[in-house]
Amino acid sequence: MGYAVANLARREPAIEVDFALIGHQESWRAAADVLAVLRGGELTALPDDEIKDILPWIPPRTVCHVDIESMAGGNARGLYIDCFIPPDRLEAAYVHENLARVRAAASCAIKSGAKIVSLGGFSSILIEGNFDQLPEKRNTVFTTGNTLTVGFIVQGIKKMCALEERNLRNATLLIIGATGDVGSGCARCLAPVVKRVLLNARNIERLRRLATELEAEGVEVELSTDLQRFPTQADIVICAASLGRPSLLLNRIAPHALVCDAGYPKNLSPNAGLFGATVFFGGLGQIAGGLRFTPDFFGILNRHPFPNVVHGCLLEGMALALEGRFEPFSKGRGFITPKRVAEIETIAARHGIHLAPFANADGPLERQSEYQTQSSRGWVRPRGGSESALVTSVREG
């Protein structure tokens, strides 16, 4: 039909997008909550079986707009793009399907004109060694966000040790998922300040390469692909493995151990049986200046007992956007160094992005400080530069 196919050159007014965040939900509960917000409160919530039927068919797309404010005075606008990877398809068997979803989400980000894109959760894991598989980028750059994730994991370990009066210098550190970008970054940052490092991962060749690198710096290193070999020896454990579901068991872990679960999805099984060990979620930061989702996904996209807490990988893109540094800060696998971590931490801190208060699956491990308790939903303004105060470290058991 020859109906006026004209005027295609006319464009819509463009909304400037500083950053895009690519992510996915780590559980069916989280996915259900996202769909419930979209469906609205007036309609009956979708039953679980319908959610499991519908979600796999949703093409990757923008879910909401994200506005952030810097403590230095600026602000940035962004988008959250969900890959809609079904939470039970995060396993290796679905890698090609999931990679296609991440690529489609990346295309959405590029089409939106986002200047920088942070890759969250599995999207980062899938892409970190395959940046060449991203679509043609025009003026959009991608960062895995792993450097700031490492920064917050390391900060968390150091802070928790200080609060519990543990001597990091005498500690034996176990890193599970040590050869990944995050795991190896943590190894480089923490190896110089602990007594001994135990490395665990599935790929023996990569383990050997990392061990050689650390040993060259004078670090005492042991490696194993057998996870059950190390837990009894470890004082501190970082869980940074790429697991499709929380399935990690740390049998015979020392009761005094400090365990940082930095996975997304979480690594530790709910039945991990970590009797006596202190467990906290790592790699998380908090935006003091403010974070707003439109529509309102507060507490849905950032499921954490404290407000404005987001994974470091996503915060890296936001921090760089606030800084006006649109560059692929974290790219590839195995390039995270203490120097780069310090650099991104400085940028983040300048804009009021700091280590999040501690929490684990049972809830907060810290008391909320004044500005957090008095905050309005989703748009928090601090009353002075306050620091969260640790009131207790919860011993599980």
Partner 1 sequence: MKTEGQIEPVMDLNGSPIDRSSLSCHAPIWQDILAQAVTGEQLAAMNYTSLSEICDDPAEVADALEHAEGERGHAASFAAEGRKIGVDVDNNVDARHWRRLREAFLGCIAERDFIGCLIVQEIMLESFAVASYARVAKVAPGSLGETFARIAEEEEQHVDHAMAILRAERALDPERFDDKVYRLHLDVMTTLAKMLAKECKDGHCEVCHASCVKPSLVDVSLSAAELRGASLEQYLKALDMLGLPGEVTLQWVTQLPI
For partner 1, which is the closer residue by CB, 7 or 139? 7
- Contact yes or no for 22/102 (Cβ under 8 A): yes
For partner 1, which is the closer residue by CB, 42 or 132? 42
Q: Which of 290, 286, 285, 287 is nearest to 380 (CA)?
A: 290
Q: Which amino acid is at 122?
A: F
Residues near partner 1 (CB under 8 A) are 1-12, 35, 38-40, 43, 46-47, 50, 53-54, 56-59, 61-65, 79, 108, 295
- Contact yes or no for 311/283 (Cβ under 8 A): yes
- Min. distance of Cβ 258 from partner 1 in angstroms? 41
In whole angstroms, give the CA distance from residue 352 to residue 285.
10
- Contact yes or no for 284/356 (Cβ under 8 A): yes
- Min. distance of Cβ 279 from partner 1 in angstroms? 35
- Min. distance of Cβ 111 from partner 1 in angstroms? 9
Q: Which of 111, 146, 112 is nearest to 128 (CA)?
A: 146
For partner 1, which is the closer residue by CB, 10 or 96? 10
- Min. distance of Cβ 285 from partner 1 in angstroms? 25
For partner 1, which is the closer residue by CB, 11 or 96? 11
For partner 1, which is the closer residue by CB, 44 or 373? 44
- Min. distance of Cβ 45 from partner 1 in angstroms? 10
Dihedral sign, Cα of residue 207, residue 213, residue 217, residue 218: positive
- Min. distance of Cβ 271 from partner 1 in angstroms? 31
In whole angstroms, give the CA distance from residue 350 to residue 70.
8
In whole angstroms, give the CA distance from residue 335 to residue 154.
16
For partner 1, which is the closer residue by CB, 79 or 173? 79
